[in-house]
Structure 1
Amino acid sequence: MFKIGSFSKMSRVPIKTLRYYDQRDLLKPAMIDQDSGYRYYSAGQLLKIKRIIALKKQGFTLEEIKQLLAEDISFPHVKQSLAEKQHELTEVIKEAQRQLNELDTGLRCIEELDEQVSSSSIVVRNVKKQLVASIRDQIPQVELCLLLHELKQYIQLQGEDENRPMHILRHQHHHKRDHEDMVDLEVAIPLAKEIPDSDRIKIYELPEIPQAASYVHLCDPYQTACLAQSQLTTWISKNGYRPTDQAPIREIYLTADKDIYGKLLTTELLIPVEKL
C-alpha cells in the first residue's frame, strides 16, 4: 500500500487531483486510516489511474470515464462511447478549422487594409455605377448604426452578403436651428443581384462619378467632424480641381463588421470634382 504522496509521485498525478477523483467517486483510496486520516492506494490502482489519464487524453470527461471504467460495461457500450467521442472530436476539428480559416481571412484583410492606409495618397479616380440596397433618413449622426443595422438585416433576409463595403452618402440639407444635430444620411450596400425593395429600402444603381478625389484613411463613422474631409478639400483646391454637386460626398467603409478592431474603420472618402 502507498500513501497518497508516494502514489502521486509514482502515477505523476498531483495530490490535489487524486483527492478530486476521490470526491467524484472516480478513484477512491483503497484504504483510509481511521486514526490518522491518511489515504492509501494499492499497486493495482496504478493501472486504473493510467487508464483514467489515457481516456482524458482521448477527450473523455470524468463522468464519461467513470462509465467506461464500470465493471459491468459491455463491449457494445464501449464501442458506442468511442464512436460518439470520435464524432464529437471530428466536429470540434471542423469548427476549429473554420475558425482558423476566419482568422486567416482576417489577417489577410488587416494586412491589405494596413498597406492601403500606410501607402495612401490622394488620387482622382473614376467611380463606377453600382447596384445597391439603400436607406435614407434625417437622423443624428450617432444613430447611423441604427440605419446600418436595419439595412443589413433586410439584405441578409434576401440572401445577400451584409459584409460588403458600406457606402455612406452625405446629402446636403438645410435644417431648422433647433435641429442642427440632424444630418441627411443615406446608407447603401452593394448587391450581387436585384432584390425586392420595401417602404424603407430602395434598390437602385448608384450613378457613376466620372472624377472623384479619393483618400483612404482611418475614420470614426460616428463623429460629426472628420479631418480627412478638410484635408481632401484643401488638396482639391491646391491641385486645380473644384468640388461639384453632381453627387453627394461618399464614404466607403472598407472594413467589414466582423473585421473591426478598436474604434476606427478603414474608409475611402470620395468627393466628386471637376478640373478647373
Structure 2
Amino acid sequence: MFTIGDFAHLGRVSVRMLRHYDAVGLLPPAHVDPSSGYRFYTASQLQRLNRLVALKDLGLTLDQVRVVLDEKLSVEQLHGMLSLRRAELRQQILADESRLRRVEARLRVIEREGAMPTDEIVVKSVPAVRVARLTATAPSYEPEDIGPVIQPMYPELFERLGRAGVAPAGHGIATYEPAEGEAVVVHAGVTVAVDPSPAYDFEVVDLPALAEAATIVHRGTMDDVDTSYQAVAAWIEAHGYKQNGFAREVYVRYGEGDPADWETELQLEITKP
C-alpha cells in the first residue's frame, strides 16, 4: 500500500484533492489506520483515479463523475465518451478563438473611428457576371453566423466543379439576400463561362449588373472587414447616397500566401434617394 502522499505523487494529484475525493465518497482509501488516521491506497485504485480526473477535466461535475464511475463503463465506452467530449472542447476552443479575433477586429475598428479610409472608395459600374454557386442560410449577418456557413461552401463548390469538369473563369463572389426574420441567404459563387445545366449539382446564374456601386478593396482576412464596411458606410452617407441591399464580396486574392496580402473588393450598389 501507499501513503496518501506517495499515492498523490503517483497519480499526479494533490493530497488535498485526494482528501476531498475521500470526503465526498468518490475515492476512499483502501485502508485507514485506526490509531493514527493515516490513509493508505493501493496501486489498483489508480485506475479509478485516472478515470475520475479525466472526467472532471472534461467538465463533468463530481456528481456526474460518480454516476459514470459507478456504472463501471468499459474502456471502450469510456474512450468513446471522452473522445466525444474532447471533440466538443476542441470545437469550443475554435469558437472562442474566433470570438477573440472578432473582438480584436472590433477594437481595431474603434481605434480607427474618425480616420476611416474613405479616400479609397471608388464609384463605378459593375458588369453582369455569370457564377456557379451553392446556397445556404445563416441565422444572421453577424460574423459568427456567416463564417461557419460560407467557409465550408467554397471547398464543396470547387469539388463539385471539378467533378463536372467546369473550370473557374474568374474570382470567387459571395452574395447575400435577406430571408425570414434576421436570417440571411448566403450564396458562395465563382465566376464561370458555362451555360446552366440540370446535370450540374450546383446552380449557374447571372448576377445582374450594378449601374453604380461604391467599392473598396479590403486587405487582409475577413476578420477585419468591418473597418472597410464602415468606411463605405461613412462615404455613402457623406455623399447623399442610399445603399441597396447587401454588398457583394469579390475575392480578388484570398486564401493563399500571406493573409496580409489578401484582397477582397466590396461592392455596394448605391442610388440617389
TM-score band (shorter)?
Answer: 0.3 to 0.5
Max radius of gyration: which structure? 1
Structure 1 length normalisation: TM-score? 0.48
